[in-house]
Structure 1
Amino acid sequence: MNYSLPNIISFSRIIIAPIFYVLLTNNDVKSINIACVIFTIGALSDYFDGMLARLRKEVSDFGLFFDPLADKVLTSAAFFAFVSMNIIPLWMIVIITTRDIITTLLRLYADTLGTPIVTSKAAKTKTFVQMVYILIVLIYLIILNNSSMLIIIIDHKSTIEYSIYLAMLGITILTMYTSVEYFIQNSILIKSLIKSDWIAITKIGVGSFIGAGYSSIAPGTIASTLALLIVIFNAPSYVIIIMTITACILGLWSVPYLEDHWGNDASKIVIDEVVGMWLILSVPIFPKTWIWNVIALIFFRLFDIAKPFPISWLNSRKGSIWVFADDIVAALYTIMIMYLLLWMSVFIPIFKYLS
């Protein structure tokens, strides 16, 4: 496990992404102010983790892969929040997200070959511009939700919003340019990918949850946190149930192949954590707030790591079914605890802040 400080700082950006999204979409001044502070800390951490890695001589292949992935998660949370608030159009974010997924998969494939892709200067510039843009929009939202400050911009509101649209269009074009650059610079790798075993690659992508399992820092926790990002889309319970069942079926198909190559219930196999997390989120009675989402994540990880009976017994069994069984039981334990907390929030005054 590579628990270096730079990698932990990178990981923190993934942790704060869902919290940032929920706060921003609350549409009140206090929440937006906190969201702005959280994003600023996350954006600054992108500079400091790289600087620390170089100063402490802790630059690693994992860090080179994970740092831009953490950036993508945080900026995507902001962009999807802006879409839900009708600030920017969805089609732009679809282009950006599609590009990010493709390049992440390409980087994952390169890592499996032992030839990691170094982030280009254009891609770094793109990330910097995205973060500056997001901070500007956040400041605009703070002003927009503050009556005393709104007077300053009220006469220019339409011009500012049109400028925000044009700036986002420019970012989308820049993102498309970096995509073309990636494909040209890695054309040999792409040709190799086209000729490779796509079934095997698909199983690796499913089992590792698009590369989360390759993390040298708590891969199960990272996968669970990424799974939690489904809250960004405000998906109804029945959609999450369908996703859970689909992920379970694909996982059962992938795990036997992966265990043959990686070993029994290898740490890289994290699709089971995703299934467990989505199972919890599919329960419709729990409030869809950041407090409850964090509670779900914490208790699920505690049960999955501590492995109280019968989780420990299930975990000792071999076979793809048992890989999922222990996480499903951990999810059920978490649901029981959350139901108890929900009951306590109704009848016990000290717990009412959870409501």
Structure 2
Amino acid sequence: MDDAVLLFATGFGLGWLPWSPGTFGSLLGIPLAWWMSGFTRGSQLGIMTFLLIVAVPICHVASLALGSGDAPQIVADEFMAFPIALLGLSVARQPWVMALAFILFRLFDATKPPPIDHIEAIGGGLSIALDDVMAAIYAWLVLVAILSLWRRHGRR
């Protein structure tokens, strides 16, 4: 069972890449976000809640198996949290919106602005998943602001 959890937690091996495993692992979140964008906002929230409830123990077990906290090989937190960056957006399936959400998510996940940088102190699977949830929320906030400005000023 631990092998299956570790396989999933490492993004089916993407987490073992020697460079940018988080970025490559996050790519698995794109089809997930695309699929979720076909549902109502309420359904999207339900799916996200389920994914995050599942992500915490998966990340925790993988962390114990790898002998460290938020090991770079663990990427399930990235691909399971990324869809939050597009939650409820009617334009989520537009390629430029998906790409911008991905770039913003990776930027916030990599730079860890406050309070993301403090979340890792919680420890365990909860902190592994929560820092990516916060990065996705930051990406969502910036994306909503950009889309709002684009709608207001870009369509003249």
Q: TM-score, normalised by structure 2?
A: 0.85
Q: Which has the larger radius of gyration?
A: 1
Match of 2:52 among 243, 248, 258: 248
Query: Which consecutive unaligned segments of at least 5 residues does structure 1 have?
Result: 1-198
RMSD of Structure 2 on Structure 1 (CA): 2.2
Amino acid at match of 1:255: C
Mapped to 2, the partners of 1:258 and 1:232 lie a distance apart of 26
Query: What is the number of residues matched between the two proteins?
Result: 153
Percentage of identical aligned residues: 22
Q: Residue 339 of structure 1 aligns with which residue?
A: 144
The question of whether the paired residues in 2 share the 8 Å contact of 1:273 and 1:327 is answered with yes
Q: Residue 294 of structure 1 aligns with which residue?
A: 99
**Structure 1 ranges of 4+ moved more than 6 A:** none
Q: Quote how far apart the aligned CAs of 1:334 are.
A: 0.7
1:301 to 1:207, Cα distance in 2 relative to 1, 3 A: same
Q: Residue 204 of structure 1 aligns with which residue?
A: 6
Q: Quote how far apart the aligned CAs of 1:235 are.
A: 5.0
Deviations along 1:25-78, whole A, 9 cap, x unmatched? xxxxxxxxxxxxxxxxxxxxxxxxxxxxxxxxxxxxxxxxxxxxxxxxxxxxxx
Q: Does 1:276 align with 2:78?
A: no
Q: Residue 100 of structure 1 aligns with which residue?
A: none
1:251 to 1:307, Cα distance in 2 relative to 1, 3 A: same
Mapped to 2, the partners of 1:200 and 1:303 lie a distance apart of 30
Q: Does 1:348 align with 2:150?
A: no
Q: Quote how far apart the aligned CAs of 1:230 are.
A: 3.2
Q: TM-score, normalised by structure 1?
A: 0.40
The question of whether the paired residues in 1 share the 8 Å contact of 2:116 and 2:134 is answered with yes
Mapped to 1, the partners of 2:139 and 2:91 lie a distance apart of 12
1:328 to 1:231, Cα distance in 2 relative to 1, 3 A: closer
Query: Which consecutive unaligned segments of at least 5 residues does structure 2 have?
Result: none
Q: Quote how far apart the aligned CAs of 1:308 are.
A: 0.7
- Report SS of the residue matched to 2:78: helix
Q: Does 1:303 align with 2:108?
A: yes
Mapped to 2, the partners of 1:293 and 1:317 lie a distance apart of 30
Match of 1:225 among 27, 36, 48: 27
Alignment of 1:2-81 (within 5 A): none
1:225 to 1:340, Cα distance in 2 relative to 1, 3 A: same
- Report SS of the residue matched to 2:82: helix
Q: Residue 258 of structure 1 aligns with which residue?
A: 62
Amino acid at match of 1:315: E
Q: Between Structure 1 and Structure 2, which shows a larger proportion of helix residues?
A: 1
Q: Quote how far apart the aligned CAs of 1:213 are.
A: 1.3
Q: Quote how far apart the aligned CAs of 1:257 are.
A: 2.3
Mapped to 1, the partners of 2:124 and 2:34 lie a distance apart of 33
Q: Residue 133 of structure 2 aligns with which residue?
A: 328
Q: Quote how far apart the aligned CAs of 1:241 are.
A: 4.1
- Report SS of the residue matched to 1:237: coil
Match of 1:313 among 112, 118, 121: 118
Amino acid at match of 1:244: M
Q: Which has the higher contact order (CA 8 A, sep 6+)?
A: 2
Mapped to 1, the partners of 2:52 and 2:103 lie a distance apart of 22
The question of whether the paired residues in 2 share the 8 Å contact of 1:286 and 1:342 is answered with no
Deviations along 1:164-201, whole A, 9 cap, x unmatched? xxxxxxxxxxxxxxxxxxxxxxxxxxxxxxxxxxx112
Mapped to 1, the partners of 2:59 and 2:85 lie a distance apart of 22
- Report SS of the residue matched to 2:28: helix
